[in-house]
Amino acid sequence: MAQNSTRPVGRHFLQIPGPSPLPDRVMRAIDNPIIDHRGPEFAKLAKRCFDGIKTIFKTTNPVIIYTATGTGAWEAALVNTLSPGDRVLMAETGQFSSLWKKMAENLGLKPEFIPTDWRTGADPSAVEAYLRKDTNKEIKAVCVLHNETSTGCLTSIKDIRKAIDAAGHPALLMVDTISSLASADYRHDEWGVDVSVGGAQKGLMLPPGMSFNAVSDKALAANKTAKLPKSFFSWQEMINMGKQGFFPYTPATQMLYGLAVGIDMLHEEGLDNVFARHDRLGEATRRAARAWGLDILCKDPKFHSPTITAVLLPEGHNADQFRSLALEHFNISYGASFGPYAGKYFRIGHLGDINEGTLIGALGITEMALGVAGIPHKKGGVQAAMDYLVSTHTGAKRAAAE
């Protein structure tokens, strides 16, 4: 944008880790006349969505679609399976795990935290040890985030499942996959997850306002005896009406148009290609940060998130000020910082409908903004990211083979 101009020129760089930018195709799909949500045309649309979303969670069981943000689906997971006073084990990985725990408390559950320093994912061996001590099997659920959006740490859900099994514990496994679904490999059935919580506005490339519960047979059985009060979020009526392609109340029709197309787009690209794209963009971002000489909040590579990278600024530099400066001068939005590291890092989201060009643009802006802000850093971050993207490009591999 022109210096000293008050009008932001060109497109806004929305680099927060959700909501992510809407693809034009999704926007056009949403831009449709409203239809009767009790009519035959709606039932066809809903069935497309109910069938399609199963392929994203990789489950053969029903997936419940809520007209609510991800926070609503968090609540749905808890109230549909648990009873007042139930003990729940949660892994403290950052801000979002803390919010889910607070919600559990508000609902009358007894959540317990396995703490971390907010720089790693959940530790399966700590989960196993905790469950082994629960000899009376009082803990009713283990709740973990697949991707902790506030820190950029991804937890291996397969390993958490193994830990619960190794402890021989019957607790339900509930996983928040809001900022990883449709960006990182996720397998609800194969990994033995009982309730998966998803959201629309991150990897699924939709506007905010829709969320999901994928469920296991064990979760459906728990639902029959769960005593926490529920009404809007109650699974049973949603599942029953869903079989006919309907909802108990007026759903977000326009969002369903978007969802159907978003799912089509993911399958046209191929889910494995979607995951590989996010992996590459994540690694390119981390290479840029390292070349700048800046630390990545997620300190162990085994937890690095493919959808968001949290970058620490040097001591004495305020990340919130950096974010407002970058917004003012370069029309870019980054994610904020939380908890013990509030003000110390900013987050670059690299999820959803994002390609190499968008990422390099965002990293280029970031390098310029670091310069304008007078934050000590080395040059060459963008170059390091480009070098990595070129060396791992399928085009480069093909050219080498010829």
Ligand X SMILES: *Cc1c(COP(=O)(O)O)cnc(C)c1O
Contact set with ligand X (CB under 6 A): 18, 69-71, 96, 145, 147, 149, 176, 178-179, 199, 208
Q: Say if residues 73 and 212 touch (Cβ distance below 8 Å).
A: yes
- Taking the complex as a whole, the smallest distance from the CB of residue 177 to ligand X amounts, in Å, to 8
**Residue 68 or residue 311: which is nearer to ligand X going by CB?**
68
- Taking the complex as a whole, the smallest distance from the CB of residue 19 to ligand X amounts, in Å, to 8
Minimal CB distance to ligand X: which residue? 70
**Residue 49 or residue 385: which is nearer to ligand X going by CB?**
49
How far CA 208 is from CA of 68, 202, 254, in Å, comes to: 8, 8, 12
- Taking the complex as a whole, the smallest distance from the CB of residue 96 to ligand X amounts, in Å, to 4
Helix, strand, coil percent content, the chain, rounded in steps of 5: 45, 15, 40
- Nearest-angstrom CA–CA distance, 83 and 98: 20
The structure tokens listed for 301 are 């590579």
For residue 340, how many other CB atoms are within 10 A of its CB? 10
User: Any idea what DSSP says for residue 163?
Assistant: H
- Taking the complex as a whole, the smallest distance from the CB of residue 388 to ligand X amounts, in Å, to 26
**Residue 210 or residue 375: which is nearer to ligand X going by CB?**
210
Q: Say if residues 94 and 232 touch (Cβ distance below 8 Å).
A: no
How far CA 44 is from CA of 59, 114, 177, in Å, comes to: 20, 45, 27
- Taking the complex as a whole, the smallest distance from the CB of residue 292 to ligand X amounts, in Å, to 25
- Taking the complex as a whole, the smallest distance from the CB of residue 56 to ligand X amounts, in Å, to 16
The structure tokens listed for 294 are 């800046």
**Residue 97 or residue 216: which is nearer to ligand X going by CB?**
97
Q: Say if residues 160 and 173 touch (Cβ distance below 8 Å).
A: yes
**Residue 291 or residue 310: which is nearer to ligand X going by CB?**
310
**Residue 23 or residue 207: which is nearer to ligand X going by CB?**
207
Q: Say if residues 276 and 354 touch (Cβ distance below 8 Å).
A: no
